[in-house]
Amino acid sequence: MRWTAAFEFPVDEQPFTSVALGHPHEYAIGAGRIQSGDGLDVSIGQFEEQLATSQVPHSTALHTRLDSRPYLVGPIARLNLNFRELPPAVRVVLDTLPTPTPTHNMFHSVVARAVEVLLAVREAHRLLLDYESPAAPAVPAHPVAGTAIGATEAPRGLLWLRFEVDSRGVLRHARIVPPTSQNQGRCEEDLRASLERFGLGRSDAELARHAERVVRNYDPCIPCAAHFLRLRVTRRPHRSSQNSLT
């Protein structure tokens, strides 16, 4: 945590709304209510009432919005909303870091990930110490018709799902809203603002590298795994730039 917090970060504060699970007695990962930095506090069953998912013309990716605006899920959103519920041994280290909490600089995401790695290691240790072998490895399952709704915090952010099954246990309908689609609109906003602040007059290579850094704040894997970034730069005679990112 201290090593990552000592990195030299770009100064890039941006307004955004954090959304994550919240729980009054723990750093929420697998249980809680859906909360936001703007005061949203609803059960996981109310997700579809509060957050609208739609297709956008310029992308095959779905976008999810809260009050018609993009929002952030993931490590920074979780830490912004839940840092007070961190175990004391983790919180005491967090309080010594030079990076602020809460933060609205997405380049601090590597620090938030480091905080959650320490949290995960300590939680794994606790579970191993407290483990007791169950009487049986599984319990019998008897299918019934119904609808199940769930939410958890995946590494990339809030993952919401709804499954409908019939009396035979056959899945009839499923809807999954992954964190990637929830972050899509916020990431696009961030790219535009961050590149303008970085300076559109820089070289194509510099602009592409900075854009990849921005995207890695949301998903460290996708720039390499999907080779997603195609940067087109149109340079006008007066040397200003206009970027198109896909």
- Could you tell me where the beta strands, DSSP code E, fall in the chain? 19-22, 33-36, 41-42, 51-55, 62-66, 146-154, 157-165, 171-177, 231-235, 241-245
For residues 134-166, one letter each, b for 16 or more C-beta atoms within 10 angstroms of the residue's C-beta and e for the rest, the string is eeeeeeeeeeeeeeebebebeebbbbbbbeebe
The chain-wide mean pLDDT, for the chain, equals 90
List, in sequence order, every residue forming a beta bridge with 190; answer none if it has no partner: none
Q: Is the pLDDT of residue 225 over 60?
A: no
CA distance 6 to 4: 5
Q: Is the pLDDT of residue 96 over 50?
A: yes
Short-list 53, 29, 35, 34, CA closest to 178: 53
Pairing of strands 171-177, 41-42: unpaired
CA distance 221 to 113: 14
CA distance 174 to 149: 10
> How far is residue 135 CA from its own chain's centroid?
37
pTM for the predicted model, two decimal places: 0.88
Query: What is the reported pLDDT for 244?
Result: 45
Residue 165 in tokens: 């099954």
Residue 215 DSSP class? H
What whole-number percentage of the chain has pLDDT above 70?
94
Q: Write out pLDDT tens, residues 7-47.
A: 999 999 999 999 999 999 999 999 999 999 999 999 999 99
CA distance 87 to 90: 5
Q: Is the pLDDT of residue 217 over 80?
A: yes
Q: Is the pLDDT of residue 239 over 70?
A: no
Query: How far apart, in Å, do the first and last CA atoms of the chain sit?
Result: 33
Q: Is the pLDDT of residue 106 over 80?
A: yes
Query: What is the reported pLDDT for 51?
Result: 87
Domain boundaries in the chain? 2-130
Sign of the C-alpha dihedral computed for residues 205, 207, 208 and 212 taken in this order: positive
CA distance 86 to 69: 29
Q: Write out pLDDT tens, residues 177-189.
A: 999 889 999 999 9
Query: What is the reported pLDDT for 221?
Result: 75
Structure confidence at residue 246 as a pLDDT band (50, 70, 90): very low
Q: Is the pLDDT of residue 59 over 90?
A: no
Q: Are 85 and 29 in contact (CB under 8 A)?
A: no
